[in-house]
Amino acid sequence: MNANKVILAAHRGDRLKFPENTMPAFLSAIENGCDMIETDVRLTKDGELVIIHDRSAKRTAQADVNIDELTLSEVKELDAGAMFGDCFKGTKVPTAREFITLAKSANILVNWELKVYPQDFGDDIAFKTADLLIDLIDEFDFAKNSMINSFSARVLEYIFKKCGNKFLYHGQGIHNCRRSYDTTEIDETEIFNWCCLYPNEKGKKPTDYKENFDFCLENNILPCICVEDNLEIYKKALDYGCRMFTSNNIFEADKILKALGVR
């Protein structure tokens, strides 16, 4: 994660062939040579960390209920695979502990996205979620493999104030392409090591704005993107200094990066 190489990150695991954010998706990403897995952390009603993107379980598990309104045992009753295909029926929502056990054994990098935001749950719950994740990472001695990410810049600031440079901090757009839900007391350029760049305008691509890549590099922040897996876009992003591609199709992304000579 120190920019000596271009990183290929699997967005919620291998979501092309498996239900997103599930153990089979993570295992496939590892087996197919990804450098990193990007995943999403939420908190259950009884204070357990689970891996799921949306607050509601409706899209991925056919249950119109919020994860934070369920206990862990109730979350484990959800079917995270049936909507993806009959052969995946019974796939469970993993806990963060289950996932980190796999990630540790594989020695893979992880981009942990904290999805519990102060604007939705208040500072106490948002920061408690961050504390629980930090404790889990420490328990597994996994800090050197961990990047912390959130659309809440304040959550990242909280971790930075508590942990300093223990982790790398991955912001969600700064400068002209800001996507954070809130602001920080410390200048974000002092906190972020990485930043996922977004387009400034709807319908555009991150690579339509070289100035955003330049701003990051000028401030010692490594730019990365999550876009369609397209050779032209990838090449332009590499020319602008992009160091990580978070992909929804890890097989196409790997093919493109190999064609461009960076894998």
What's residue 4's pLDDT?
A: 82
Partners of 86 in beta bridges: none
Kindly state the tokens that stand for 32: 């197919």
Name every residue whose Cβ is closer than 8 Å to that of residue 135 and which is 6 or more positions away in sequence: none
Between the CA of residue 174 and those of 159, 222, 231, what are the distances in Å?
A: 18, 12, 25
Domain 7-259, CATH class in plain words: alpha beta
pTM for the structure as a whole? 0.97
- Which is nearest to 113 in space by CA: 42, 182, 161, 196? 42
Between the CA of residue 187 and those of 61, 156, 176, 183, 192, what are the distances in Å?
A: 39, 12, 15, 9, 9
Each of the 263 residues of the chain gets a pLDDT tens digit; together they read: 777 899 999 999 999 999 999 999 999 999 999 999 999 999 999 999 999 999 999 999 999 999 999 999 999 999 999 999 999 999 999 999 999 999 999 999 999 999 999 999 999 999 999 999 999 999 999 999 999 999 999 999 999 999 999 999 999 999 889 899 999 999 999 999 999 999 999 999 999 999 999 999 999 999 999 999 999 999 999 999 999 999 999 999 999 999 999 99
Provide φ and ψ at 256, rounded to 5°. Answer: -65, -45
Catalytically active residues, by annotation:
11, 53
Angle at 109 between CA 108 and CA 110, to 5 degrees: 115
Kindly state the tokens that stand for 241: 């200094």
Tell me the C-alpha distance between 250 and 29, whole Å. 8
Tell me the C-alpha distance between 72 and 36, whole Å. 26
